[in-house]
Chain A
């Protein structure tokens, strides 16, 4: 199947700093990518839909100024957690679609804000 690479896999940052997470589709072009967040022992919650060349569509309750999404090319979307706080600590996972049946998931990024 298609490969989606997410980087970094783990990151620890200080409170108040910003962190950028990258999601790349390695062998296909993804016009749409999705960003999910997973709290410990909980399910994945869709945060936003990232569309290449246009603004992301955020789910209700997700702060767009807090979680900046950029989808500048057909193979790369980035999620930047701005002014991170400990409550932003979570597992973030992206997925990318080649318009087929399946969405391909990245390996996830474990963010810890100290």
Chain B
């Protein structure tokens, strides 16, 4: 089956770095995504990485991709209280861009 796994909860102090991990299953996924969801709201795309890359940096966000282990991570530098949310990784199975299989979600709690 298609199971994208994430740890359920992460707590960090403001100013520290946060690392959220994700394990996906479909090696043919062309793109891998990170989304942020605040309470009661829709999804906000944070960043994505193409499967032939192993790292992508976008301001405070760094995505690392280990294709061999099917492991994806999102690092948030200098985490702020406004970063508190649920973070979902998602894969595009079979390379079908835009049809997404989401991870279980990680609740990030940032302590002041």
CB pair A44–B42 under 8 Å, yes or no, is no
CB pair B43–A49 under 8 Å, yes or no, is no
Determine the chain B residues whose CB is within 8 A of the CB of A45 once the complex forms: 102
Determine the chain B residues whose CB is within 8 A of the CB of A6 once the complex forms: 42
Determine the chain A residues whose CB is within 8 A of the CB of B102 once the complex forms: 36, 43-45
Task: Knowing A44-B88, A102-B48 are in contact, say whether A95-B40 is a contact too (CB < 8 A).
Answer: no
**Cα separation A49 to B101 with both chains bound (whole Å):** 12
Binds B, one of A62-70, A72-80, A82-90, A104-112: A104-112
CB of B104 within 8 Å of the partner chain: yes
The listed residue (B31, B88, B99) touching A101 by CB distance below 8 A is B31
Task: Knowing A107-B41, A107-B42 are in contact, say whether A43-B99 is a contact too (CB < 8 A).
Answer: no
Question: In B69-112, which residues have CB < 8 Å from any A CB?
Answer: 88, 97-105
Determine the chain B residues whose CB is within 8 A of the CB of A100 once the complex forms: 97
Q: How many contacting A-B pairs (Cβ < 8 A)?
A: 54
**Cα separation A29 to B35 with both chains bound (whole Å):** 23
CB of B45 within 8 Å of the partner chain: yes
A21 to chain B, nearest CB (A): 13
Q: Which residue of A lies closest to B101 (CB)?
A: A46
**Cα separation A35 to B102 with both chains bound (whole Å):** 13
CB of A42 within 8 Å of the partner chain: yes
A69 to chain B, nearest CB (A): 14
CB pair A42–B42 under 8 Å, yes or no, is no
CB pair B105–A42 under 8 Å, yes or no, is yes
Task: Knowing A102-B45, A102-B48, A105-B42 are in contact, say whether A97-B103 is a contact too (CB < 8 A).
Answer: no
CB of A32 within 8 Å of the partner chain: yes
CB pair A32–B98 under 8 Å, yes or no, is yes
**Cα separation A100 to B45 with both chains bound (whole Å):** 14
Q: Which residue of A lies closest to B90 (CB)?
A: A44
Chain A residues in contact with chain B, CB under 8 A? Answer: 1, 6, 32, 34, 36, 42-46, 49, 93, 95, 97, 99-108, 110
Chain B residues in contact with chain A, CB under 8 A? Answer: 31, 35, 40-45, 48, 88, 97-105
